[in-house]
Amino acid sequence: MAIAVTEDLLRAVVTKDKALSDGRTLLKKGAFKNLKATADQSLIWGECQGSGANPYVLSIDLAGDNPTIRCTCPVKPPPCKHTLGLLVAFMEKPASFATSEAPAELLEKRGKNLERAEKKAEAATKPKEVNKAALEKKTKIQREALDLLEKLVLDLASSGIGTLDGKKGAKLVEQARQLTDAYLPGAAEALRRLASLADRRDRDDSVEHFYQLEEPGHDLPDDLRMRLMTRHLTRLWAMVRKGQKALDQKLEEGESVSDAEAVVEDLLGHVWDLASLKAQGHARQNLRLFELADERYRDAVREEKIEQGFLLDLDQGDVLVDRKFRPLAALDKVKEKDSYEKPVTITDAGIYPGFVNRRVRWEIAALSSRPATTDDFTRIHAVAHPTIEAALAKYKEQIRNPLAPDDAVVLIRTADLRRAGDALALIDEKGAALLLKDSPIARYRTSNNLAMAAGAQLDGGKLRQPASVLLRLYLGLADDAIYGQPLALVVGTTHVRLGM
């Protein structure tokens, strides 16, 4: 079946808004000629007159999960303004495309693409053929690196976390590179995060690169910063112990793909792709999702821009995360993650193993959107956690695992929002309260935005109903109490994003 050419598809393939705008301009100027399409509309092609004497030849294959876009212009990678204009033309004026048999050259290219896709899907379903010698070599390298990490953690614990200054932090960053070289990217990242919290008062220009690794919390008062460092150190110790255990079992049992071992597999360098997720049963069909919040920030430790949307599963009530990592050195070359103002349906999705907020991925052809309805908002309030206690139970289950994230995003049905000193408190249907305030290590602030948004939703001094709040639960650094940082407010059929 052909991929439908819709605004959703355009949005998914466009990497630069200007290219789309220029493509629309070319269409208005009548630059496209000899437009054709197959009877099943799975292949469109034609010509576009550019500045040269000969027109560019372009085609778009709409078979499969992702469109294959080709143009003879020098712009690489696609899509260029010519092919985007061709998509707009087909979407807006399909009658201008004459029905024709597909050129043999394009059918041959389609066949090769199909063959590659089938081989990839087949490979994902087959048990891995273990090269014992290679596995032993890699495992030995990983185990030696974990032994190094164990020594580093023990040395830090014995000397005291307060002794971690700039020079020691810079040395840890160097040692993190050794972990990366030893196929332990997760452990390397965790070590860099700890190093970036080191005391910076003894600044040394010879380790300037180290001082660019700013982790949220590096500028906290010393007592809170050291509490945060202790959490990082605890996580590193858990990585060492669980990683060593996993490596000891690996030769006998092969690589684990269970939910329970997912974080350990990440530590050991396991990389999930969509095909392997589906092959291992981590898949869902016909997901109905509503994006409640979206956030984007630069992560200096990863040297990437992280873009993530929190999407509510309208059927099961889970809050999934659509996440993308864009290298800071190549932001202009990697497409920005889309954000969705309308509810979306995903016909076939991969769901990562993990904790409360599991990552979701899909192919371009799997997504379609539609206008929001009253029923969508009714469903949002229906699947929200009915009480604070229910949400906290889910969060506490997550943080029992020392490798789990310290935070979790949940949706809680809300009876009212009240002032509690200089903060806000969420009141649930049973009268229980949860203090809402920005985390001291938050990338951005939202609580004041909630106060303003809630003020507009008051009716006689009380929050209008039904109401639900999306918030990030986290452990306070000073007291280990659980707080919530609000990310979105939904009142009736009004949806307000409180962050970026």
The whole-number average pLDDT for the span 190-205 is 81
Task: For residue 92, tell me if it sits in a domain.
Answer: yes
User: Does residue 83 sit in the same domain as residue 198?
Assistant: no
Q: State the pLDDT at residue 314.
A: 98
Q: State the pLDDT at residue 124.
A: 66
- Would you call 232 helix, strand, or coil by DSSP? helix
16: pLDDT confidence band, cut at 50, 70 and 90?
confident
Contact of 376 with 79, CB cutoff 8 Å: no
User: Does residue 183 sit in the same domain as residue 306?
Assistant: no
Last residue of a domain, one of 350, 372, 394: 372
User: Does residue 121 sit in the same domain as residue 136?
Assistant: no
| CATH number for the domain that contains residue 304 | 2.40.50
Evaluate if residue 206 carries a pLDDT over 70: no
What stretch of H or E contains 83?
Answer: helix 81-92
- pTM of the predicted model, to two decimals? 0.88
Contact of 348 with 285, CB cutoff 8 Å: yes
Evaluate if residue 258 carries a pLDDT over 60: no
Task: For residue 405, tell me if it sits in a domain.
Answer: yes
Q: What does the pLDDT look like over 450-467, one tens digit per residue?
A: 999 988 898 878 899 999
What is the average pLDDT score of the chain? 89
Q: State the pLDDT at residue 262.
A: 61
User: Does residue 117 sit in the same domain as residue 136?
Assistant: no
Closest CA to 290 of 343, 349, 345: 343
Among positive and negative, which fits the CA dihedral 235, 197, 423, 470? negative
Q: What percent of the chain has pLDDT over 70?
A: 92
φ and ψ of 489, to 5 deg: -125, 130
The whole-number average pLDDT for the span 327-337 is 89
Q: State the pLDDT at residue 93.
A: 93
Q: State the pLDDT at residue 251.
A: 63
User: Does residue 143 sit in the same domain as residue 256?
Assistant: yes
Contact of 425 with 435, CB cutoff 8 Å: yes
The whole-number average pLDDT for the span 68-76 is 92
User: Does residue 73 sit in the same domain as residue 106?
Assistant: yes
Evaluate if residue 130 carries a pLDDT over 80: no
- The amino acid sitting at 338 is D
User: Does residue 219 sit in the same domain as residue 140?
Assistant: yes
Last residue of a domain, one of 347, 372, 397: 372
Last residue of a domain, one of 267, 288, 321: 267
Among 56-70, 131-145, 220-234, 266-280, the minimum mean pLDDT is found in: 266-280
Task: For residue 338, tell me if it sits in a domain.
Answer: yes
User: Does residue 308 sit in the same domain as residue 394?
Assistant: no
Q: State the pLDDT at residue 129.
A: 65
Task: For residue 358, tell me if it sits in a domain.
Answer: yes
The whole-number average pLDDT for the span 226-242 is 93
253: pLDDT confidence band, cut at 50, 70 and 90?
low
Task: For residue 377, tell me if it sits in a domain.
Answer: no
Evaluate if residue 264 carries a pLDDT over 90: no
Q: What does the pLDDT look like over 402-451, one tens digit per residue?
A: 888 999 999 999 999 999 988 999 999 999 999 999 999 998 899 999 99
Number of independent structural domains in the chain: 4
User: Does residue 116 sit in the same domain as residue 136?
Assistant: no
Closest CA to 215 of 306, 300, 298: 300
Task: For residue 272, tell me if it sits in a domain.
Answer: no
User: Does residue 338 sit in the same domain as residue 403?
Assistant: no
Q: State the pLDDT at residue 252.
A: 67
Structural domain for 67, as ranges: 7-125
User: Does residue 183 sit in the same domain as residue 239?
Assistant: yes
Task: For residue 21, tell me if it sits in a domain.
Answer: yes
- Would you call 54 helix, strand, or coil by DSSP? coil
Task: For residue 244, tell me if it sits in a domain.
Answer: yes
User: Does residue 248 sit in the same domain as residue 144?
Assistant: yes
Contact of 300 with 329, CB cutoff 8 Å: no
